[in-house]
Amino acid sequence: QGSQKRSNSTPETPQPKRAPLSHSPYGLFSPGSLSPSVTPSQKYSSRGGRGEVVASFGSVQGLAWSGHGGCAPKLFGCPEENLSKPYKFMFQKAQDIREVLSARMEELGEVLQRHHGLQGFRSTSIPSQEPVTVLGYIGCDGNGKLNASSVLLVGDREHSVGTEIHLDLSRLPEYSLFPGQVVALEGTNSTGRRMVVSKLYEVTP
């Protein structure tokens, strides 16, 4: 057998390491084989024919859309609650966001009172040996993960002035909470710093 001459491969003239297969099964199901035969796209800066239809499916000849009759939008609710001018999303002031959240909590508190027949809410900062009912939303103590030992309640503005209190949920048979959830809790707060929860009232549909 004669010696086989190896091909010279330089950076100027690189040689492929493996010859391409002429009968590859992947070529039969490539995107190019299933897509319509259109002109390959050029660079974005030098593209031409912008807005031109290069491929279509079905017949759309002679299709025209027309409307008749006027349609005018109507705003419902109080005028001060409707938007009268554009605003930048997520550019609201912290005080405005606080006002909206507080108003929403008061509305949900009234719903909880009617649905569960609650008498009234107490403050989260006043110690009490007897079971009391408080209103607020679920928060986290700052470690970033909500678990059984990091749950706290941020009290409402009317009764608790936004006071935070840690919660002991060991006496509840089951619960499912998430940060920001508005709830009403019944339990004892003997020290004014931690509330032992015995009942959980949630907003139900």
DSSP per position, 136-164 = EEEEE-SSS---TTTEEEEE-TTTTTT-E
- 3-state DSSP of 32-45: HHHCCCCCCCCCCC
The burial class, CB within 10 Å (0-12 / 13-18 / 19+), for 112 is buried
* Percent share of the chain, pLDDT over 70: 74
User: What is the DSSP secondary structure assignment for residue 132, as one 8-state letter?
Assistant: E
Q: Which residue, among 95, 155, 103, 168, has the nearest Cα to 125 in the 3D structure?
A: 155
Count of other CB atoms within 10 angstroms of residue 89: 6
pLDDT tens per residue across span 190-204: 888 899 999 999 887
Q: What's the pLDDT band for 45 if we cut at 50, 70, 90?
A: low
Q: What's the pLDDT band for 33 if we cut at 50, 70, 90?
A: low
Statement: residue 16 has pLDDT above 70: no
Higher pLDDT, 137 or 53: 137
Count of other CB atoms within 10 angstroms of residue 134: 26
- The reported pLDDT for the residue numbered 132 is 92
Q: CB-based contacts of 41: which residues, under 8 Å, 6+ apart?
A: 47
What is the set of domains in the chain, with CATH numbers?
A: 76-204 (2.40.50.430)
- The reported pLDDT for the residue numbered 36 is 60
Statement: residue 139 has pLDDT above 60: yes
pLDDT tens per residue across span 87-99: 777 788 888 888 8
Give the whole-angstrom CA distance, residue 160 versus residue 185.
Answer: 13
The burial class, CB within 10 Å (0-12 / 13-18 / 19+), for 165 is buried
- The reported pLDDT for the residue numbered 171 is 92
User: What is the DSSP secondary structure assignment for residue 94, as one 8-state letter?
Assistant: H
Statement: residue 185 has pLDDT above 90: yes
